[in-house]
Amino acid sequence: MNELIQFDLSLIMPEIFVLSMAMVVLMTDLFIKPSSRWIIYSLSQLTLLGSTYLTGKDFAEETQFAFSNMFVRDGLADFLKMISYLGISLTFLYSRSYMKDRGLYRGEYFALVLFALLGMMIMISSHNMLLVYMGLELLSLCLYSITALDRDNQKATESAIKYFVLGALASGLLLYGMSMIYGATSSLDIGIISTTLFNHPTDHSILVLGLVFVLAGLAFKLGAVPFQMWVPDVYEGAPSSIAMLISSVPKLAAFAITIRLLADGLQSMIIDWKEMLLIMAVLSISIGNITAIAQKNIKRMYAYSTISHIGFILFGVMSGSLNGYASSLFYVASYMLMTLVSFAILMIMSNKNFECELIEDFKGLNKRSPWYAFLMLIVMLSMAGIPPTIGFYAKFMVLQAALEAGFVGFVIYAVMMVLVGMFYYLRIVKLMYFDEPKVKGKIEASLDVQWVLSLNALSLLIIGLVPYTFMEATTQAISLSLN
């Protein structure tokens, strides 16, 4: 019995470490002066470094279960956790000066982000619908709170309330769908649900209704149409550093539970959820790209851009193949890297007395800082899907997977929407290189931010030139999980 408990605990050591360090960060903040908050920042980064070590030293090459098969550690879980640590670390680094200028550089910010990371880690390793819901709620409550961190900002508070109300509704839909699946299969375990549906088919109408509610909850967390209403309002209202967090790393956890529930637990219902995902994917790509053209606020433009990217991620999932799942995983990881750079440059262009929010604020960026304009150029080309960037390869792979699955007409339509989306990305490039700057003065950032941001942006180009190694890693992670 003791050996079983020790084995279970050994599998969740990264989660235990993050939980412990989040509490240490919160308690340490009580006993230090505001001028010493670099200690909190250092502890948070050490937490991520320690988690990386604990996850990487025993990187899962086979599937292992803990706590009565509720918790799973496999290649997909470890891969997504490692990417999540990287994303959170970059978020802390890029947002440091921005949060200091706005008086938000406090212990609760770091603690909430670490607790949100814990929620994501639980979601990624969930093999039971109850644990999926627990991780999802932990993540969601932290994101609601952190959106309203700037209590004196009316827009941020309003965004947090909208996010909370709609998020609670989506969580209710997801929970109701899970309860219907439980009622039809008599189990919350994803593996048992899969076996039951294959060997003992039950009332299909109840399962389809439950599937609809589950997909509605997942679509909200991803930000897919028709559950995308919260995305532009939250992005615009939240401080840029918080919007950067919400738009990037949590997408990895949302993708993980989508794969766990659909590709693993409900694989026998693939015909039903393929059609639902197809509708959401087509609508997300269309509404996201077309609506983004009309935006004047850069964060709202990013929001609608996110919606269109989610549509492409769903294209890979709905293919129902190993290659499609791996392509979607490649896409969501690539999207995280692109989003972090785009928001980081936004924050660098802001200062204590100026918030870079409008698209026009990018006018003449090349004259103010040729290097940052070049980095932003790489991001815009990557998001638009122009070779040889990582964004092109990501789009190519998910569309190829959808094409192999027989969605020829919809793939052609998606390519046409990519051409539409190029307009608002290349508009930023035009403003940076061909217009006169509205704001004078150089753009400054700390040396560590300059180096890391440059490496982050250049990686979009480098991986785009040699994407096969990264693609092989995502394929291996998915194959280890689903076999």
SS (H, E, C) 322-340: HHHHHHHHHHHHHHHHHHH
Alpha helices for 319-407 (secondary structure H): 322-349, 365-368, 370-384, 390-404
* Residue pLDDT tens, the chain, 483 long: 577 777 778 888 999 999 999 999 989 888 888 778 888 999 999 999 999 999 888 776 778 888 888 888 888 888 999 999 999 999 999 988 888 888 888 888 999 999 999 999 999 999 899 999 999 999 999 999 998 888 878 888 888 888 888 888 888 999 999 999 888 888 888 888 888 888 776 667 788 888 899 999 888 888 888 888 888 888 988 888 899 999 889 999 999 999 998 888 888 888 888 888 899 999 999 999 999 998 888 999 999 999 999 999 999 888 888 888 999 999 999 999 999 999 999 988 887 777 788 888 888 888 888 899 999 999 999 998 888 889 899 999 999 988 988 888 888 999 999 898 899 899 999 998 888 887 777 788 888 888 999 999 999 998 888 888 888 888 888 887 776
Token couple for 161: 């309330």
Q: Using the 8-state DSSP alphabet, how is residue 126 labeled?
A: B
How far is 270 from 323, CA to CA, in rounded Å?
16
How far is 143 from 466, CA to CA, in rounded Å?
35
Cα dihedral value 196, 328, 136, 234, nearest 10: -150
The predicted model scores a pTM of 0.93
> CB 451: neighbour CB atoms within 10 A?
11
Q: Residues near 106 by Cβ (< 8 Å), separated by ≥ 6?
A: 29, 37
Distances (CA, A) of 3 to 9, 70, 179, 416, 422: 10, 18, 34, 57, 57
Which residues form the domain of 92? 2-482
Distances (CA, A) of 151 to 16, 98, 155, 163, 229: 31, 16, 10, 15, 23
Q: Which of these, 235, 363, 367, lies nearest to 307 by C-alpha position?
A: 235
- Decide if 284 contacts 224 (C-beta within 8 A): yes
Q: Which of these, 388, 384, 244, 258, lies nearest to 315 by C-alpha position?
A: 258
Exposed e or buried b for every residue in 282-305, given b needs 16+ CB within 10 A? bbbbbbbbbbbeebeebbbbbbbb
Structural domain tally of the chain?
A: 1
